Structure 1
Amino acid sequence: MRALPEDPVVQTNGCRLLAHIAVNDSNQLAIAKECGVKAVLMAMKNFPCDSAIQESSCRVLGLLSYHSETQQYVTRLGGIEATLAAMDSCGSPEVLVSGCSTLTCLAVTEKNIDRIRDEKGVERVVSAMKKFEDHSDLQLTGCLALKLFAETKEVAKQVVAEGGEAVIRSAMKRFSESAELLKEAQDALDNIKKHST
């Protein structure tokens, strides 16, 4: 990836390969330490409208964000901002699902939640859920993200202000047969109620 940063085929395949090997916990720290995060972020920057690169890159960042040690690499190098930029530039449901999943993985510390809020992450998730209201995976990952964002009082209020409650309730009605979505959506509504008042 570093040798051919302008080749979209190399970057696509490199991001897909990193996403594949990042599934294994033992590979995650090696990827982060060996400049894998930097390579992914560079691919995202060089190909902002390439859905395959953006989706795979978000998936890599999300997988590396499961553990606090590798998450530090992602946040320090600009992974939150890159994820949100991918959600803006591509806008495909697959990129939005991967983006919401990555934000969910990153939203485990108050500091990260505040950065996501400051970068308009709440707006982007709510907007994505409104735009693709029939996409079940996006609705689920959106509910998960909003649930975690609403862990802090200030951000819970922003979720309400951006219309987050309404999109969550809409997802619950639209996908009433999905037990997983209903649980995550109800947990999100409970967090919003608890922290926004």
Structure 2
Amino acid sequence: MVEDLVREGPERVVDRMSKSLDDPKLQALCCQALINLSSNNTVVQGLIGQQLGGIHLVVRSIVQHLNEEKVQEKGIGVLCSLTLVPSNRSLIGSLHGEKLAMEAMKRFPESPGVAVESSTLMANVAFGSRGNKIWIGRNGGILAILKAMQDFPDHRTLQMRGCLALRNIAWGVEDNQAMVSSLGGVVLLYRAIENHVSDSSIIEQSSVALCNVVLSTENESSPGDVTILLSAMDLHRGNSIIQEHCVVLIDHMVGRQNVCQQEFLKAFGIKTIIEGMKVHSENRGVLLKASRLLKRLAGVPEFRNQIFDYGGIELLADILCLTLNGGSEIIH
């Protein structure tokens, strides 16, 4: 049925939806067809969202079928698929699509599908909009996302979208950063890394989200957090995003807590840092962050010995030459 609707095209699907608002099954099918039609196609997304009035129609369908799980999941899914177009994103925000998402999560707490789409929608409408970020934080969005992550710890897609949502919602809004921290979000973000350490998408989103939260809040690290980050770095050595943000987090921890220094020492963290620097020898972000960490630790004899043992001195000399030749900001 969905394939047949897709073949009809977006105009026909929107028309079918508008004429069958009382039929929840057909509404859900039409929403899935719109998701398929708009996937990775901003032209079609703009057509559905603006010219055809699809956003208003989908919102109306969601409101009319509040107790239909599939309509909620697929309807919110359509809104997610249309948010790549800025004008669509603004319209969805003005219609409080994020409020519909939060309410759907409360009505269907056992539905991972609703949680995935709702978390994604909040992530997308928060992107680039300080007003939407603040609204989501003040109206329970952060709590809803954290509850979903806690309830579905093994659901990879949900964990990734939840981390993405926290990343976007916390960025640049101090109240939201504090809220994520106070509601246990830091623990859940580390748990996402630990439980899904082989999934680079989850590690990327969670490590960036952690940077957005912990660098500006008073957070004491838990035992094992350093080891969790080092394991992720070892497993994803070729991923510069993971390398850079995990180094930043480790630098933050070892600079504030002696127990984290000891954990880092016992886990041979210097070796992991230096190996990552070698792989990303042309990535200034990774080199800058890692060099700062090595500089911080070089005053401690045990760390200084490891820096020598794993070739850190030669590596830092190479970076210095690169800096002098290229005018980089690496050395401070």
The verdict on a shared fold, with TM-score over 0.5 as the criterion, is yes
Residue pairs, 1:84-95, within 5 angstroms = 84-91=190-197, 92-95=199-202
1:32 to 108, 114, 137: 137
2:110 match: 6
1:125 corresponds to 2:232: no
AA matched with 2:233: M
AA matched with 2:247: C
TM-score (norm 1): 0.87
1:96 match: 203
Aligned residues of 1:44 and 1:54 also touching (Cα < 8 A): yes
Higher relative contact order (CA 8 A, sep 6+): 1
1:18 match: 122
Most deviating of 11-20 and 61-70: 61-70
Where in structure 2 are there 5+ consecutive unaligned residues?
Answer: 1-104, 305-332
Distance 1:132 1:41 in 2: 26
Q: Residue by residue, what CA displacement relative to the aligned partner does 1:119-175 show, whole Å, maximum 9, x if unpaired? A: 421111011111222223221221222222233151344333332222111111011
1:43 to 148, 165, 188: 148
AA matched with 1:125: L
3-state SS in 2 of match to 1:95 = helix
Distance apart, 1:39 and its partner CA: 0.8
Aligned residues of 2:177 and 2:217 also touching (Cα < 8 A): no
Distance 1:189 1:153 in 2: 16
Distance 2:213 2:262 in 1: 20
Distance 2:130 2:269 in 1: 33
Query: CA distance change for structure 1 residues 160 and 110 in 2, over 3 Å: closer, same or farther?
Result: farther
Root-mean-square deviation (CA, aligned residues, Å) is 2.2
Distance 1:79 1:119 in 2: 16
Query: CA distance change for structure 1 residues 156 and 68 in 2, over 3 Å: closer, same or farther?
Result: farther
TM-score (norm 2): 0.54
Residue pairs, 1:39-118, within 5 angstroms = 39-66=144-171, 67-91=173-197, 92-109=199-216, 111-112=218-219, 114=220, 116=221, 118=222
Where in structure 1 are there 5+ consecutive unaligned residues?
Answer: none
Residue pairs, 1:176-191, within 5 angstroms = 176-191=281-296
Most deviating of 182-191 and 12-21: 182-191
Most deviating of 36-45 and 65-74: 65-74
Distance 2:140 2:299 in 1: 40
